[in-house]
């Protein structure tokens, strides 16, 4: 652990300490204090969002629809209350209005706050040096509360994560911490926020380190994340209570069911793939749709509301339905058009669609909780089937509902360890850990490389946050001409800034090269400089901080990226922009070079 000092990375060696205060020289002392501060922020953020969401549920579903929605046991719910609505037919009106207001707020003041917040926070960690605009947290809080409170299918963990991460980033700026420390503050905020709102501090702390990567873990954030999650959980629980969200499961683990859990793992893995592919198919379709961004969440809300008419179980967070599924209160599941057995089979698919329309259209909310609910509904169906086939071995469906919750989303989020602990904490069911481990491992394998968080990178080596810690000698042997140089995205000096913003959001870039009519590189335009502005791109161009040529090395390209904090670099010859070299293209060239070196070594041994 480097004897309590800062992790000895190349980045840390190159940069002077931001503070001259003695206590910052000890990594653990500093991050114990900062972790506690971020924990207070996470707990207060979770409370703020929780009560804002309750207010919006009352205003939309309560006053407009006259609806009563099942609540989980840990939040004062009952196992005898189902869905009731005085004005059932106004469900689509509520979700459509929620989409309209959410879209107006987000696209007017902070377009990057659209969609699910956890992915945006992960992106800030890897690609933005932990920078999150200060207006993002309050806008995300209000927009998400409106989206979910009006009946949109989304979770409250994503907004809470971005809220806590955003304030953590602001605290780092206020204290003049280094970019490395700001990134850590963002990661700790993600875990502490989610751990607080779910009342799952252990899982939240592990999530802070695990959710950043598909196949790796950020060990350096574990210590502050443990402190922050404990503090945030204590604050949130002191107000809303410490009972696990879904109550306590007291059943006994039966090892004879392990083969059945293995089958469940295969099914959950396939549903994880379906969830990810459906979500991004709809998300990308809305991105390509050439209508106003303000109109897209309205359409998404309307479609989610139509599904809610058919099956009100998909509305909002759906937490209460998880408890009803766990305890087999099937008589409370309702639909005006579908027979019960058809409804139960269709619910996982309908929840996937409702979530995809709500968030994929630009609505604001999280994808974590819907994944948990989809897993619970799949577990209910599989548990009922096993109960019918093997009633003595499977007397009830509760263990399959609980295990399926964590397996499906653990696979979809590429965070099996964190999600496993979180669901165990949310149900008080530690005795199901062996079943959970088998099921989530199989689901993770089946799901392959599909992830609900596109901002994740495979490993630390692939993260811009750790560029320079790996691969430098080999990078000096590879030329830019050995890599794929992309022709775009590029904007011209006379392009409209709104078009440039849309291009950046569509391609997930925070800056773009700007050229004139002769394809000469003029400079760079940054997303933060043109958001909410009018005019042409040329009014906001800044000088390029550097560029490379075809005969430059990848080390040269990395130096420009590291200095500018980007994941791409312009490629220029004789003043003309040939294209852009991306971090992904560099990684592919590096992997090819490594394979060539290994092959050469093997041939000579």
Span between the terminal Cα atoms of the chain, in Å: 36
- Whether residues 391 and 264 share a domain: the answer is yes
**At which of 447, 481, 516 does a domain end?**
447
Is residue 138 a part of any domain in this protein?
yes
Using CA atoms, how far apart are residues 368 and 154, in angstroms rounded to an integer?
A: 8
What was the pLDDT predicted at 100? Answer: 96
pLDDT at residue number 21:
45
Indicate whether 16 pLDDT > 80. Answer: no
pLDDT at residue 20, as a whole number: 43
Q: Which structure tokens are listed for 111? A: 């377009």
Q: Does 240 share its domain with 371?
A: yes
Same domain, 299 and 363: yes
- What's the average model confidence in pLDDT over 189-205? 93
pLDDT (tens digit, 9 = 90+) per residue, 486-500? 888 899 999 998 888
User: In angstroms, what CA-CA distances link 397 with 243, 244, 252, 390, 408?
Assistant: 22, 19, 13, 12, 16
Q: What is the rounded CA–CA span in Å between residue 126 and residue 108?
A: 26
Under 8 Å between Cβ of 453 and 413: yes
Q: Please give the pLDDT value at position 9.
A: 34
Of the candidate ranges 237-241, 251-255, 411-415, the one whose mean pLDDT is the lowest:
251-255
Cβ proximity of 356 and 367 under 8 Å: no
**pLDDT for 144-158, tens place per residue?**
999 999 999 999 888
**Same domain? 488 vs 437:** no
The number of domains in the chain is 2
Does residue 601 surpass a pLDDT of 70? no
Task: Tell me: pLDDT of 531 over 70.
Answer: yes
The answer as to whether 453 is a domain residue is no
Residue-wise pLDDT tens digits, 573-589 = 888 898 999 988 998 88
Are both 393 and 527 inside the same structural domain?
A: no
Q: Which range marks the domain in which residue 146 is found?
A: 2-447
Regarding whether 22 and 98 lie in a shared domain, the answer is yes
Helix (H) or strand (E) holding 521: strand 521-526
338 and 443 in a common domain: yes
Residue 579: how many other CB atoms lie within 10 Å: 18
Compute the mean pLDDT over every residue in the chain, rounded to the nearest whole number: 89
Residue-wise pLDDT tens digits, 435-466: 999 999 999 999 999 999 999 999 988 888 77
User: Are 425 and 517 found together in one domain?
Assistant: no
CB distance 549 to 480 below 8 Å = yes
Please name the residues in contact with 418: beta carbons below 8 A apart, sequence gap of 6 or more.
203, 204, 206, 207, 210, 211, 410
Residue 598 lies inside a defined structural domain of this protein: yes
Q: Are 313 and 151 in contact (CB under 8 A)?
A: no
pLDDT of residue 13: 35
pLDDT, tens digit, 9 for 90 and up, residues 365-410 = 999 999 999 999 999 999 999 999 999 999 999 999 999 999 999 9
Residue 5 pLDDT greater than 60, yes or no: no
Check which CATH number belongs to the domain holding 237 and give it: 1.10.3080.10
Asked if the structure places residue 459 within a domain, the reply is: no
pTM to 2 decimal places: 0.78
- Domain final position from 447, 479, 513: 447
Q: CA 499, 505, 506, 512 torsion: positive or negative?
A: positive
Classify strands 511-515 and 491-492 as parallel, antiparallel or unpaired.
parallel
Which tens digit of pLDDT belongs to each residue from 510-521?
889 999 888 898
- Say if residue 25's pLDDT is above 60: no
pLDDT at position 11 is 34
Residue 464 resides in a domain: no
Q: What is the CATH number of the domain that holds 573?
A: 3.10.580.10
Lowest mean pLDDT of 15-24, 123-132, 543-552, name the range.
15-24
Same domain for 369 and 503, yes or no, is: no
The pLDDT-based confidence of 603 (bands split at 50, 70, 90) is: low
pLDDT, position 558: 87
Is residue 238 domain-shared with residue 373, that is, in the same domain?
A: yes
Residue 123 has pLDDT above 50, yes or no: yes
Q: pLDDT at residue 569 above 50?
A: yes
Which residue from 405, 323, 321 is spatially nearest to 371, judged by alpha carbons? 405
Whose tokens are 């092959």? That residue is 599
Are 401 and 507 part of one and the same domain?
A: no
Q: How confident is the model at residue 162 (pLDDT cuts 50, 70, 90)?
A: confident
Specify whether 402 is located in the same domain as 532.
Answer: no
Contact 169, 122 (CB under 8 A): no
- Segment among 112-121, 221-230, 482-491, 594-603 with least mean pLDDT: 594-603
Question: Given this model, what pLDDT does residue 467 score?
Answer: 62
Indicate the pLDDT class of residue 101, thresholds 50, 70 and 90: very high
Question: Tell me: the pLDDT tens digits for 325-376?
Answer: 999 999 999 999 999 999 999 999 999 999 999 999 999 999 999 999 999 9
Question: Could you tell me which residues are beta bridge partners of residue 580?
Answer: 486, 570
- For the purposes of burial, counting CB atoms within 10 Å of the CB of 377, is it exposed (0-12), middle (13-18) or buried (19 or more)? buried
């Amino acid at each position: 652990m480097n004897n309590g000092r800062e992790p000895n990375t190349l980045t840390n060696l190159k940069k002077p300490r931001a503070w001259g205060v003695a206590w910052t020289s000890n990594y653990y002392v500093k991050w114990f204090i900062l972790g506690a501060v971020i924990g207070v922020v996470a707990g207060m953020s979770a409370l703020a969002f929780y009560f804002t969401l309750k207010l919006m549920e009352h205003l939309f579903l309560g006053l407009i629809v006259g609806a009563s929605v099942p609540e989980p046991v840990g939040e004062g719910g009952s196992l005898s209350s189902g869905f009731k609505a005085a004005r059932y037919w106004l469900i689509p009106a509520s979700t459509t209005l929620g989409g309209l207001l959410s879209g107006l707020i987000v696209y007017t003041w902070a377009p990057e706050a659209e969609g699910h917040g956890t992915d945006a926070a992960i992106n800030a960690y890897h690609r933005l040096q932990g920078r999150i605009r200060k207006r993002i947290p309050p806008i995300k809080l209000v927009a998400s509360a409106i989206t979910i409170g009006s009946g949109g299918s989304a979770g409250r963990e994503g907004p809470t994560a971005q809220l806590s991460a955003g304030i953590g980033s602001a605290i780092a700026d206020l204290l003049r911490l280094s970019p490395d420390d700001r990134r850590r503050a963002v990661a700790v905020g993600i875990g502490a926020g989610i751990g607080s709102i779910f009342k799952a501090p252990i899982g939240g702390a592990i999530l802070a380190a695990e959710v950043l990567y598909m196949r790796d873990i950020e060990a350096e954030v574990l210590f502050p994340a443990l402190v922050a999650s404990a503090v945030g959980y204590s604050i949130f629980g002191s107000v809303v209570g410490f009972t696990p969200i879904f109550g306590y499961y007291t059943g006994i683990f039966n090892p004879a069911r392990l083969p059945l859990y293995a089958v469940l793992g295969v099914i959950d893995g396939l549903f994880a793939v379906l969830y990810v592919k459906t979500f991004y198919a709809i998300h990308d379709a809305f991105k390509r749709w050439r209508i106003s961004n303000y109109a897209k969440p309205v359409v998404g809300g309307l479609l989610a509301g139509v599904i809610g008419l058919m099956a009100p179980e998909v509305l909002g967070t759906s937490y209460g339905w998880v408890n009803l599924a766990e305890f087999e209160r099937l008589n409370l599941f309702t639909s005006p058009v579908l027979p019960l057995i058809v409804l139960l089979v269709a619910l996982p698919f309908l929840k996937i669609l409702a979530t995809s329309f709500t968030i994929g259209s630009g609505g604001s909310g999280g994808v974590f909780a819907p994944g948990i609910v989809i897993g619970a509904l799949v577990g209910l169906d599989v548990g009922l089937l096993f109960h019918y086939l093997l009633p003595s071995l499977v007397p009830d469906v509760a263990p399959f509902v609980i295990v399926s919750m964590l397996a499906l989303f653990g696979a979809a989020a590429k965070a099996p360890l964190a999600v496993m602990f979180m669901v165990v904490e949310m149900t008080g069911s530690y005795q199901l850990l062996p079943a959970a481990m088998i099921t989530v491992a199989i689901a993770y394998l089946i799901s392959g490389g599909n992830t609900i968080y596109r901002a994740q990178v495979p490993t630390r080596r692939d993260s811009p946050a750790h560029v320079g810690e790996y691969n430098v000698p080999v990078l000096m042997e590879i030329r830019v001409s050995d890599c794929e140089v992309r022709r775009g995205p590029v904007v011209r000096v006379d392009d409209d800034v709104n078009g440039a913003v849309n291009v950046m959001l569509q391609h997930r870039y925070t800056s773009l090269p700007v050229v004139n009519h002769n394809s000469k590189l003029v400079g760079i335009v940054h997303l933060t400089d043109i958001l909410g502005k009018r005019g042409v791109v040329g009014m906001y161009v800044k000088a390029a901080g550097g560029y490379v040529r075809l005969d430059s090395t990848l080390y040269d390209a990395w130096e420009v990226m590291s200095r500018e904090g980007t994941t791409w670099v312009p490629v220029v010859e004789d003043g003309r922009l040939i294209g852009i070299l991306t971090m992904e293209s560099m990684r592919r060239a590096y992997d090819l070079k490594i394979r060539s070196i290994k092959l050469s070594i093997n041939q000579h041994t």
